[in-house]
Structure 1
Amino acid sequence: MNFNIEEAVAILSRTPQTLASLLSGLPEGWLGCNEGEGTWDADEVVGHLIEGEKTNWIPRLAFILREGESKPFPAFDRYAHLSAGSRTTERKLEEFAELRARSLERLRALVDNEEWLEKTGAHPAFGKVKARELVSAWVVHDLTHLSQIVRTMALRYKTDVGPWVQYLGILNR
């Protein structure tokens, strides 16, 4: 097992800054890239991450620690961000950074020792899950969406790179 709470926090704490560095001030052409119908662009991914901070990771962790396996924790609406009010990407990045900072404070308050991470809860679809698995999924979720954003941005220039496409693995998935 590779999980370590401090290593998890090291990634989780960097995601807002990474997104801000990558996306702040970019023209809409970059922010609006997606992989086709039904996929998300960078701006929508940031909205999704905001919803996760509000209703997924910490609320579910608190639920596991409070309720155990007595009842399933609420389902997460992965598409709620698509009906959220319109805000600029800059404002979303700021909001995400604020929410993530609060989430990490709450994580440290909830998990004051590693034993808490072995507590189990009931996922609405998966059944029995550990708090450690939830926090691990949170880290990988961040990395997945960072990868998604970079991949969709690279695809914007797929036809523009000409014959170099054969050497650019990100364009050949």
Structure 2
Amino acid sequence: MIFQNPSIALIGMPAVGKSTVGVLLAKQLGYDFLDTDILIQTKENMTLPQIIKKKGLKGFLDIEAAHVLGLGTELQVISTGGSVIYRERAMRHLKKIATVVYLYADLPTLLTRLSDIEGRGVAIDPSSSIDTLYKERTSLYDKFCDIKIVCGENQPGQVAADVAATLAG
């Protein structure tokens, strides 16, 4: 691998396929797989929507960051929540322990995949829209990533193969 950190952290918008691609990539590389959304739900004993409702958006982002800061250096593929980029300290930690891969899809593609943002636990201000969220987050994903993979209409298996090929150099 050409990157200093052998672990891989996937970042990107909700519905881009981080969890699905992450599982496939972990299998392909022989790594462990960790989904931070599931980790948060397990540790907090609540679903993401319940946490957002109870703690508010800022409270949720703080909880998410705390769990990311607790991640170790195990050899793994980490699928993060789309909002992880809102806490710079958490992103600095991810960059220390993993190569950060931004799975990019354009807004029209995401809009066809993303439904029920409230039930999914998307960290979004209630007065905001997916368009606004997309514009707000894409520059942050670009800022923090080591690698950007354009997913387009590719199937998850192809995206995982593209990530593995890029990491291999």
The normalised TM-score by structure 1 is 0.29
- Higher-Rg member (1/2): 1
Q: Determine which structure has the larger helix proportion and give its number.
A: 1
The structure, 1 or 2, with the larger RCO (C-alpha pairs under 8 Å, 6+ apart) is 2
